[in-house]
Structure 1
Amino acid sequence: MSASASDEGTKGLSVFVVEDEALVALNLEDMLAELGCTIIGPVMRLDRAEQMLADGIDADVAILDVNVAGQMVFPFARRLAENGVPIVFATGYGRAGLPEDLHDMPILQKPYTMDDVALGLRSAVSNKSA
């Protein structure tokens, strides 16, 4: 998939990134920039992500690492979803690593490609509008 085909449906999206591994976060930032997204973060700690949510984060979609510095992200993810922010989970655990109530959320299976990111973002945003 070419970059122009990849960014169809992602260009202009504001993406909140929660990822505690610096190299993974930098790689994801590069992918999102190439897809034409605006990046919020990356945030490497859940307490900082919680503060940003409390301050009124303005994101079209979020990409959340499932395990952030030893803490599972699911309670935070539910709060984001309650605030109308679609979620894509980034995980090495696969769908089986998600609680059952979150199984309908798109996942990025680590390691992922830019095409995977584009597909996950489009899926999350289309689920919101469905």
Structure 2
Amino acid sequence: MARFRHGNEEHPMTTAQRPIPVGKYEILQDYETKAASVRVFRMEGSVERIEQHVHHHSTQIYMVIAGEARITVDGVDHTLRPFETLAVYPGTAHGAAPIGPQAILANISIPPLAADDQLPVAGEPEPPDLKLPKVGSDYDD
């Protein structure tokens, strides 16, 4: 059974307490206070990743500890190297994948990540006829 630390005490994790994982990755540490939660996780090679998901309440700050990672936020890729950070705000679709053989990341959630605040994003792309025009595009179509 997975475990997380709260202060100096270690507790078993249950799905009622912590979010269901979105993707395949190893949680190395899961720590929570009243103000924030911190997860440290490892992703290996091309088979492990955090799938696209959204939080409606928490802002998340990703920081790479080792290796390199690609953080995708609303369809835009950001490459992070050790000790670089990126904030992801509530309501923003995001995911992460290692670049290379392995990446270790910390994820800080403010307020703490609640069990019901990690929702997968459907993988279906938006049909072209429903997309809003962007600046510089042909608005008359």
Structure possessing the higher relative contact order (Cα contacts under 8 Å, 6 or more residues apart):
2
Judge same fold: TM > 0.5, yes or no.
no
Q: TM-score, normalised by structure 1?
A: 0.28
Q: TM-score, normalised by structure 2?
A: 0.27
Greater Cα radius of gyration, structure 1 or 2: 2
Q: Which one has the bigger helix percentage?
A: 1
Q: Which one has the bigger strand percentage?
A: 2
